[in-house]
Structure 1
Amino acid sequence: MNYESRTIAQDERPALPDYDGEGRRRKRNIVVGVVVALLVAALAWTVFGHKKPAAAPAGAAVEQVPSVSVIVPGRSTVDRTISATGTIAARVDMPVGVAGEGGMVTAVRVQPGQWVNAGQVLASVDRSVQNQTAQSLAAQISVARSDQSIAQSELDRAAQLVDRGFISKADLQRKQATLNSAAARVKVAQATLREAQARTGRLDIRAPAAGLVLARNVEPGQVVSAGSGMLFRMAKGGQMELRAQMSEQDLTTMHVGAPAVVTPVGSTQSFKGEVWQVSPVIDPQSRQGIARVALKYDTALRPGGFAQAEITSGAASVPQLPESAVQSDRKGNYVYVVGADNKVARRAVTVGQVTDQGVSVTGGLTGSERVVSSAGAFLSPGQKVKPINKAS
């Protein structure tokens, strides 16, 4: 009975609060509160602790000014070089043909590529008939000389007899006339023989001057005459030239003596020469003229071949720009120039030669402008930039 009363007393005892779980929740709430307070404080410091810049007006775009490199090119003295193309040819091209009446060719004594002297025989024509004619004329000279000798003897005897009165002076004069006639016939026969010999000599086809044989168009056994045309083609002295085709504008600046460098097509070897003749006329169809560049003989220079020439026609004082500064479109070449207000403006230019040193500008710039040296393709006229000077 006492046991039951004790059990009932314990069950009827009121429950005590859970102090451990509530403490943990309280601590967690405190920590969360502290963290939130710190975050709020940091946000307040960020918002109100610094001065905010003035807000841009609603709808206004913030302007971004790009930095660009600019260069003041000045003026430089550069050689004006003109590029041209043309054909290699003999400087003095000599076609050789039949000078006499011709005949059958008996021998050809030279080949293309061979050097010959002035008057050297290139080919021979049969002269059997001409030789017989020359012998006949030589015999006529002998006959005429015999007649002259007889006439001289008769004149001498008549001169002795006229003093003795055996013949008259009139007979003596007739003897003198006979002698003079015989002497004249001798001269005629001699002249006729020399003429025949000259004609025979013309049967030999000879080189008109020393030079290089370029072509041969005759073979032994061929019958040739004055109408046969060119049998040989020669280059006088072996001298060559480049007949450079040039525009009318370039030709006006060309002068005799201008140095040139010629490079045949397909070859890495270049040859020095100089302009020896400038064409006085312009082709009305192509609007081009010819500048002839004299070249020394070389086996690599073959007449009829194509070549390129770089001709220096003088020096000029012009601005020079890096290639990156010059832009190009359908309107032509142009650059961007930075004005006093730091705004870029398009400037049309005329471009000259391009070398390792840069691009020569022959028109459109004075050299004192601030020119955008690069990134011009990303700019537009009127755009404001921040120029950065670059050494020229």
Structure 2
Amino acid sequence: MNRLPFQPLTLGLMAAGLITLAGLGLFATRSQAADADAAKPGASAVAKPSLTVTTIQAQSGMLPIKLAANGSVAAWQEASVGTEVNGLRVQELHAAVGDNVRKGQVLATFAAESVQADVALARAAVSEAQANAAEALANADRARAVQGTGALSAQQVNQYLTAELTAKARVESAKAQLDAQLLRLKHTELLAPDSGTISSRTASVGSVVGAGTEMFKLIRQGRLEWRGEVTSAELGRITVGTNVVVTSPTGAQVKGRVRMLAPTVDAATRNGLVYVDLSSAVVGGKTAPGAFKPGMYARGEFELGSSGALTVPQTAVVVRDGFSYVYRVGPDNRIAQLKVQTGRVVGDQIEVQSGVKPEDKLVATGGSFLSEGDLVKVVEAPKAVSKQKEAVAPAKPAQAASK
């Protein structure tokens, strides 16, 4: 049998295939060795912190105990000012709503012509009564002079003496009627019964008013009070003399003091009223008269003393699903999410009633970016920035533990 000679091209292809198979075997061997090395303990990469944070600790201190309540502003006492004379025409009004008046100041005047005529008539009646009394006195004196002489009977003497007494009584009656008319004349000027502020005016010039008709309302002495509404349980915590800070919807604040506690509690709401005398309102550090008005809604805080508390910055507390949390940094720089109960707020600080210890290191801000178990890097806050206000910032990639 004749053998076919190998061609040069065939030999080249066979050599290339052998080289390729040898390379694949070497790569597989090295890959298996690398996988085996990766499976050994301590060979994994060092975990990298996700965020850089600054920490704070809860601070112990005294916080004021305050009780908040809603209520309305009202006049301390509101006087109803009306006329005491009947059927007189209003001639002139001297005060308007909002005016501050003094005690005894003229608020309105009435047409006094008819009253002046009545005064003149009463004066004439007094003069007539006095003349009749003088005549009766002279007759009585003559009767007493001849009494017992038989010139006049005893009955006639008694008549003269009785006429004298009657004439004197008529003089007194006429004088009383004159005094009444003079009083009516005095009442043709309506005077302020006390100093204060006019809150209402219902009279008009030219109208004829009857006795007792209200013409003005006066806030006595311009004094206002806040009537706070509290529960029956809270009512027992408040005493007369307790200091109160009342704030209007416009932000004006006024200090007050509890004047009186309601003796009864509303049967429907189970709430009671607390009456607080108000001083001058302050807006922007300056006294602001008129910042509070009767009928205005206002919110007040009763100052009930102080007590010890743990506080943290409000930025350290995160609210999730209706619950409050803080984030503690452990010794291994791992985050632990702590559920806390918060309380009073003073400035940028908030009371933590439970869930935190004074020695706990808490994330100052940015807790909303953290989760349970996160690894963080803790850095000191810059001197120019308070540790309680340091923000959370992304961390730089960590360096390998060893090369």
Judged with a 3 Å threshold, the aligned counterparts in structure 2 of structure 1 residues 325 and 84 are, in CA distance, closer, same or farther, namely same
SS, match of residue 147 in structure 2: helix
Letter in 2 for 1:175: Y
Larger Rg: 1
| Structure 1 residue 133 displacement after superposition | 2.6
Q: Tell whether 2:319 aligns with 1:328.
A: yes
Alignment of 1:1-392 (within 5 A): 53=41, 73=58, 75-82=60-67, 86-162=71-147, 164-167=149-152, 171-226=156-211, 228=213, 230-244=214-228, 252-266=236-250, 270-280=252-262, 281-282=264-265, 284-285=268-269, 287=271, 289-296=273-280, 298-307=289-298, 309=300, 311-333=302-324, 346-356=338-348, 358-361=349-352, 363-364=353-354, 370=360, 372-374=362-364, 378-380=370-372
Percent of residue pairs bearing the same amino acid type: 24
Letter in 2 for 1:324: T
Judged with a 3 Å threshold, the aligned counterparts in structure 2 of structure 1 residues 150 and 265 are, in CA distance, closer, same or farther, namely same
Q: Distance in 2 between matches of 1:311 and 1:192?
A: 58
Relative to structure 2, which stretch is displaced further, 129-138 or 305-314?
A: 305-314
SS, match of residue 349 in structure 1: strand
Q: Distance in 1 between matches of 2:355 and 2:238?
A: 24
Letter in 2 for 1:315: S
Q: Distance in 2 between matches of 1:156 and 1:121?
A: 51
Q: Distance in 1 between matches of 2:143 and 2:105?
A: 54
Judged with a 3 Å threshold, the aligned counterparts in structure 2 of structure 1 residues 102 and 77 are, in CA distance, closer, same or farther, namely farther
Q: Distance in 2 between matches of 1:207 and 1:329?
A: 61
| Structure 1 residue 359 displacement after superposition | 0.6
Deviations 1:350-390, CA, capped at 9 Å, x for gaps: 4223423x1124x546966747455665445xx799999x9
Q: Distance in 1 between matches of 2:87 and 2:188?
A: 6
Deviations 1:204-245, CA, capped at 9 Å, x for gaps: 3321101222333322112222475x4222222222344455
Aligned length: 339
Q: Distance in 2 between matches of 1:155 and 1:345?
A: 114
Judged with a 3 Å threshold, the aligned counterparts in structure 2 of structure 1 residues 254 and 214 are, in CA distance, closer, same or farther, namely same
Letter in 2 for 1:235: I
Q: Distance in 2 between matches of 1:258 and 1:69?
A: 42
Letter in 2 for 1:238: G
Q: Distance in 2 between matches of 1:69 and 1:54?
A: 30
Q: Distance in 1 between matches of 2:239 and 2:363?
A: 35
Select the structure that is richer in helix. Answer: 1
What TM-score do the two structures reach when normalised by structure 2?
Answer: 0.64
- CA root-mean-square deviation: 4.8
Unaligned 5+ segments in structure 2 are 1-25, 281-287, 381-386, 389-403
Q: Distance in 1 between matches of 2:186 and 2:65?
A: 54
Cα contact 1:101–1:225 (8 A) shared by 2 = yes
Unaligned 5+ segments in structure 1 are 1-35, 57-61
Q: Distance in 1 between matches of 2:360 and 2:327?
A: 9
Cα contact 1:102–1:125 (8 A) shared by 2 = no
| Structure 1 residue 142 displacement after superposition | 1.8
Cα contact 2:329–2:362 (8 A) shared by 1 = yes
